[in-house]
Structure 1
């Protein structure tokens, strides 16, 4: 249903251009493209110029940014259709300008993981974090609901991982997760042909002289899936 709506909006812009007898250019063209791209969860490379122009509009106060972005989107010559279609007018004048629509897409969510500080270094006046942990983003932003639930949009990211585990900075950068397992689990996985297994032997003096199991730690290594969000059609 929503895909058909986007097609209708596209046809509306095209018809307006043809009725005017001109090919849309400059900010007028970019404004129309921005509305289409912001209303879709899939944004091809063709969206880059219009979205870059749209998000470059910002002022010191958020209210001024909203007004400026609204005025930019209104450059798209949809004629009387925007007046007659209150749902479209709401999308263009209220929903899109009033939120950070770039943060509502699967692409943004995948590129911006959640972080938490696990180690701080504190001085006389303040502390600063020196070690973080990371995980794929687990929640959608509440302010995106107006975009997700609008009749004329096709934006609804879905989490296909349901992963809530936190990873060290080394794991996150290498995209490899190390899970401590027992010797029995290690042997069972090895017997099944699982290759990503590691045995770490302590470098202590005692362990260098001994072959004790106490000195060994077993790990299962798995790839970290970071692109957990996909656009739900």
Structure 2
């Protein structure tokens, strides 16, 4: 989400080349279309197959860690990594004890390093997920859940999940380079057009940056430098 706009984005990331592309977005406006952010996410994922976009893993924020989305991804045969909130109810006892919050689980040294198998409330009994405990700082612990079939340790799972932070430069660059959040129009259609054009401008900048092996900031600054040099040599404006 971009603060003040309500832009829900779907980003394709290639971690091997360290490149990413914005492939879809939705404007969160429940008063207009009655759709939640989860509805928008499902709509975007539904559109990937008809568009011929192949992907293996879905990374998302804890906001989207719903049972319905987990079931959708499992039915689609996709792998997912997602943080769980500490109050999410789970069972790691094999149906021997009632569900309890993630934050109340007991962890052995081996489980901290390798993760633990458990069931999330609302999922079928035969659906076992793997939970990892990630120590972010002395005051913060994250819980990361995945349906990855192959055995992975906590460090590998954390590295896989960290790819989702690619969303941060994607939200930062359009704001700093295109002014996507600075439109002063009052009509909803004008705002939507402005956002679409800003996203289009950023997409072209990003494509050119990949081709020239420069950053989008260097590319835009180069445009401005060339313009200033041209104006200093032969100004298009006549001064008295």
- How does the TM-score come out when normalised to structure 2? 0.24
Point out the structure with max Rg over C-alpha. Answer: 1
Structure having greater relative contact order (Cα 8 Å, sep ≥ 6): 1
